[in-house]
Structure 1
Amino acid sequence: MTGPTRHTASLHLDEVRDKAGFLDRCARDLGFPEWFGHNWDALADCLHDLSWWGPQGEGFVLRVHGWEAFRTAAPEAAATAAEVFTEATEHWAGRGTPLTVHYE
């Protein structure tokens, strides 16, 4: 018998070189709801309300593939994205449901 599991999703940043590409890839790979506005505030909103992502179980895991190449190509966008991810993990930690982001 197994208990609740952590919901896991993958974000693939191969060939993403700017903010617009990053936000488009988030929408596609993470299955953001139609109301996603393709800006940093909308990214934060989606990550603070993960009800659209399915049952929370024991938390959430986000695997970000190709992070280093994206960070090299778009350092300002990557810094802002990392800040949004950090704020989201802190938000969920305060609610007792972990959101873990793995940069790969």
Structure 2
Amino acid sequence: MTTFLGRHSEADDHLDQLRWLGHDVRVVTGGHDKASVLEAFATGLELPEWFGHNWDALLDALRDLEGPRGVPVELVWDGAHALRQADRPTYETVIEILEQVDEERDDLNVTVIAR
């Protein structure tokens, strides 16, 4: 299940709680258009060289994202508000990809922070 936190939520407390629970918290920050969002994911998640900076490559990379064995991965997209305001179709595409991966993987959870 994808967790959505608004601009005025206690996002940092949420992330601290996940870390306290032992989750492998991976934070991707920002993006204001397709190119910058794809770059934010590539950089924030240290995606492999084969990452092609397109939607299919992002989906494949998230499917293959590994964490320590037996430790849940919490994928956090922080700063999603800028993209939602500037380019709603791209924002919705990112959300669809994140929700798809979240549904496919038992060991991965997604948090989207719109601040």
Pairwise mapping of residues 37-48 of structure 1 onto structure 2 (< 5 A)? 37-48=52-63
- 2:65 aligned residue (40, 50, 55): 50
Pairwise mapping of residues 31-42 of structure 1 onto structure 2 (< 5 A)? 31-42=46-57
Pairwise mapping of residues 1-104 of structure 1 onto structure 2 (< 5 A)? 5-13=22-30, 16-51=31-66, 54-93=67-106, 97=107, 99-104=108-113
The CA deviation at 1:58 is 2.7
Q: Which runs of 5+ in 1 are unaligned?
A: none
Q: Give the TM-score normalised by structure 1.
A: 0.81
In 2, Cα distance between the equivalents of 1:6 and 1:42?
25
After TM superposition, which residue ranges in structure 1, 4 or more long, deviate above 6 angstroms? none
What is residue 12 of structure 2 aligned with on the other side? none
Q: Deviations over 1:41-88 (max 9, x none)?
A: 00000111113xx32433110121111221111111110000000010
Equivalent residue of 1:84, what SS? helix
Task: Give the conservation status (yes or no) of the 8 Å contact 1:6–1:57.
Answer: no
Q: Give the TM-score normalised by structure 2.
A: 0.74
Percent pairwise identity: 37
